[in-house]
Amino acid sequence: MRPPANHEVDMLKEGGALVSFIYPARNKELLDKL
Each residue's pLDDT tens digit, 6-30: 899 999 999 999 999 999 999 999 9
Amino acid at 30: L
Amino acid at 34: L
Q: What is the pTM of this model?
A: 0.62
pLDDT at residue 32 tops 90? yes
**Cα–Cα distance list, 33 to 6, 22 (Å):** 8, 12
Q: What is the pLDDT of residue 28?
A: 93
pLDDT at residue 1 tops 90? no
Alpha helices in 1-34 (DSSP H): 6-11, 28-33
Buried/exposed code over 1-34 (b: 16+ C-beta within 10 A; e: otherwise)? eebbeeeeeeeeeeeeeeeeeeeeeebeebeeee
Q: What is the pLDDT of residue 11?
A: 93
